[in-house]
Amino acid sequence: MWKIFLAAFVLMIFNSLLTYKQAKNFSVSFNDVHKYGNVSVGKDKQYFVYGVIVILACDNNGLVTKGQMINGFSVFARFKPFDDLVGKSVYEIKSEEELKVKTFRSKKRREKGSALLQAVNGLIGVLEKSKAAEMSEEELIGGDTIAENA
DSSP string, 47-70: TTS-EEEEEEEE-TTSBEEEEEEE
Cα separations in angstroms, 136 against 128, 130, 131: 12, 10, 9
pLDDT tops 90 at residue 39: yes
Percent of the chain with pLDDT over 90: 38
Which pLDDT score, from 0 to 100, does residue 140 have?
Answer: 65
Q: What is the pTM of this model?
A: 0.77
User: 92 near 69, Cβ under 8 Å?
Assistant: no
Residue 58 pLDDT: 93
Query: What pLDDT was estimated at residue 55?
Result: 93
User: What pLDDT is attached to residue 135?
Assistant: 79
Q: What is the pLDDT of residue 147?
A: 43
Percentage of residues of the chain with pLDDT beyond 70: 86
Residue 148 has pLDDT above 60, yes or no: no
Report the range of poorest mean pLDDT among 23-27, 54-58, 106-110.
Answer: 106-110
- Flag the least confident range among 45-54, 85-94, 112-121: 45-54
